[in-house]
């Protein structure tokens, strides 16, 4: 692979659908020798990656009913992938295979998948297989319509098959609450009427003339567009929530006297986007000429910039954030647990909003200005979010702020924690501050 290819992100596709819908044959077509069927093994976590593709495939057994364990196994897999923090480990698309050679146009499992929306933000492409079976049905219907007359027009036959595909499959699926994104028909149409009558034409995906070029092309175009944006934002949001949890733990565990200066110094280093300022010519601080102030000492200990050299703009971000809080906060005395928790929540909610603002803006917004905009909205007299958060914080007891020992679910070892930290994270993630995105004014040429 060249440099461009190796830097291209890997995209993960789940192949699932109905029983007997040729999922195995489809994977053999797109993966070649990379796909090997292992007898007795149905491991949906197994990664199948052809050497010349950017896709990783997962094979799921088919299901036709909601009582099928394989359907619930597939749903659990989708749910697990939706919880991962790494974009490369997320599921990016689903190929849902439906056979068209049976009397069942929409199975109970199909209704569950597309009415309950179990795929979440993951786009689904319907792959219609065994299409020649539907062509044979179309032939039978045309024979009944014209009675004893022969159906000699292949175009008429294909037209009737396309009508059946629309009425029996596509339209019912489109009418569901969470419809598929695209529909692709797999099958070689280079057959003759003699083939249909004699049933000598092999099944679609077993025919050497059958290709999956259209399916791969549609998948590539879909994932190159806006289809990935909700998944990327979900990953960013999940990682951001982890930053919020870490920042809150540090604030509650810190032995440093906490005020409107030290709290931003503790919280902001947990959010990488805080350092992406709009000023490009920032210079490292000359510590002999401009030493770091005492209120910045916690920043020096916590932030990776302490290793690489703190920049003037990074320290300015801390100070401007603290200045904004001083201007807007009517309760500067943070000795009480509740008042301190209110400011911690306010900072985290406003910083989270600046990240979403930056995600929707090009070029990147100036963090101090974005933080002030968010803080002004949060501290405004008619802010329902602040009222709700304050009420919930008031319900926390003094015991919630005390350190207690719990068992870490991953390591099974005792882990010190505070109930207030967990509850604050829940409050913050339940109270997103979503301000309208204002596009920058367009520049017009003079004259």
Tens of pLDDT, residues 199-256: 544 455 555 556 677 888 888 888 876 666 666 666 666 777 888 888 888 888 766 5
Say which residue the tokens 């007795």 belong to: 40
The yes-or-no verdict on residue 78 having pLDDT over 90 is yes
Q: Answer whether the bond into residue 272 is a cis peptide, omega within 30°.
A: no
Domain ranges for the chain: 10-227, 232-430
Q: Is 362 left (phi over 0), alpha (psi -120 to 50) or beta?
A: beta
Which has the closest alpha carbon to 366: 329, 326, 323, 316?
316
Angstrom CA distances, 150 to 190, 194, 328, stand at 20, 12, 84
CA distance 230 to 69: 29
**CB 421 within 8 Å of CB 252:** yes
Distance of CA 109 to the CA centre of its chain: 24
For 22-46, what is each residue's pLDDT tens digit? 888 888 888 876 666 665 567 899 8
User: Which residue has better confidence, 310 or 422?
Assistant: 422
Instruction: For residue 117, give every residue at least 6 positions away whose Cβ sits within 8 Å of its Cβ, in sequence order, or none.
Output: 177, 178
Say which residue the tokens 């802010």 belong to: 383
DSSP-assigned states of every residue in 251-269: HHH--SPP-TTHHHHHHGG
DSSP 58: E
Confidence of residue 195 (pLDDT cuts 50, 70, 90): low
Residue 237: per-residue pLDDT: 67
Mean pLDDT computed over 311-327: 79
Residue 298 host element (H or E): helix 297-302
Q: What's the first-to-final CA gap in the chain, in angstroms? A: 49
Which has the closest alpha carbon to 112: 24, 234, 18, 15?
18
Which residues is 55 bridged to in the sheet? 11
Our CA angle for 249, 253, 257, nearest 5°, is 120
Other beta carbons less than 10 A from residue 119's beta carbon: 23
| 15-19, 33-37, 244-248, 442-446: segment of lowest average pLDDT | 442-446
**CB 256 within 8 Å of CB 298:** yes
Instruction: Return the CATH fold of 10-227.
Output: Rossmann fold (3.40.50)
Other beta carbons less than 10 A from residue 168's beta carbon: 16
CA distance 258 to 322: 12
Q: In this structure, what are the phi and psi dihedrals at residue 77, rounded to the nearest 5 degrees?
A: -65, -45
Three-class DSSP category at 89: helix
CA distance 137 to 157: 10
Residue 434: per-residue pLDDT: 79
The yes-or-no verdict on residue 167 having pLDDT over 60 is yes
Which residues is 284 bridged to in the sheet? 311
Distance of CA 215 to the CA centre of its chain: 22
pTM across the whole model: 0.58
CA distance 294 to 433: 32
Q: If you average pLDDT over every residue of the chain, what do you get?
A: 75
CA distance 203 to 188: 9
For 289-318, what is each residue's pLDDT tens digit? 333 343 333 333 344 344 334 456 667 788
CA distance 409 to 59: 30
The yes-or-no verdict on residue 272 having pLDDT over 50 is yes
């Amino acid at each position: 692979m060249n440099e461009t290819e190796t830097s291209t992100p890997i995209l993960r596709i789940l192949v699932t659908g109905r029983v007997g819908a040729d999922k195995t044959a489809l994977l053999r077509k797109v993966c070649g020798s990379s796909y090997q069927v292992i007898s007795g093994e149905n491991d949906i976590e197994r990664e199948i990656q052809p050497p010349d593709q950017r896709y990783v495939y997962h094979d799921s057994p088919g299901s036709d009913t909601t009582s099928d364990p394989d359907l619930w196994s597939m749903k659990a897999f989708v749910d697990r992938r939706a919880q991962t923090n790494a974009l490369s480990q997320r599921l990016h698309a689903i190929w849902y295979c439906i056979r068209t050679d049976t009397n069942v146009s929409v199975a109970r499992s199909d209704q569950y998948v597309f009415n309950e929306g179990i795929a979440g933000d993951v786009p689904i492409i319907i792959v219609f297989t065994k299409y020649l079976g539907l062509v044979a049905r179309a032939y039978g219907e045309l024979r009944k319509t014209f009675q004893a007359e022969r159906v000699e027009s292949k175009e008429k036959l294909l037209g009737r098959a396309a009508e059946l595909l629309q009425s029996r499959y596509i339209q019912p699926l489109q009418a569901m609450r969470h419809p598929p994104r695209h529909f692709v028909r797999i099958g070689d149409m280079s057959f003759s009427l003699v083939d249909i009558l004699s049933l000598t034409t092999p099944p679609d995906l077993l025919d050497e003339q059958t290709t999956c070029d259209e399916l791969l092309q549609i998948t590539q175009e879909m994932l190159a567009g806006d289809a990935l944006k909700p998944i990327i934002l979900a990953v960013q949001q999940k990682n951001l929530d982890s930053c919020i949890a870490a920042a809150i733990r540090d604030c509650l565990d810190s032995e440093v006297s906490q005020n409107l200066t030290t709290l931003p110094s503790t919280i902001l280093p947990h959010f990488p986007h805080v350092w992406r300022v709009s000023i490009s010519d920032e210079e490292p601080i000359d510590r002999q000429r401009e030493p770091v102030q005492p209120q910045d000492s916690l920043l020096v200990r916590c932030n990776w910039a302490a290793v690489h050299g703190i920049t003037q703009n990074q320290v300015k971000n801390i100070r401007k954030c603290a200045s904004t809080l001083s201007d807007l906060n009517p309760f500067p005395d943070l000795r009480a647990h509740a008042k301190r928790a209110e400011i911690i929540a306010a900072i985290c909610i406003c910083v989270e909003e600046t990240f979403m603002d930056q995600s929707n803006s090009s070029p990147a917004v100036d963090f101090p200005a974005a933080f002030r905009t968010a803080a002004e909205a949060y501290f405004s007299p008619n802010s329902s979010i602040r009222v709700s958060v304050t009420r919930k914080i008031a319900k926390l007891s003094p015991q919630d702020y005390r350190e207690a020992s719990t068992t870490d679910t991953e390591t099974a070892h005792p882990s010190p924690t505070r109930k207030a930290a967990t509850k604050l994270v829940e409050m913050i993630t339940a109270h997103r501050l979503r301000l309208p995105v204002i596009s920058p004014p367009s520049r017009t040429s003079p004259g």
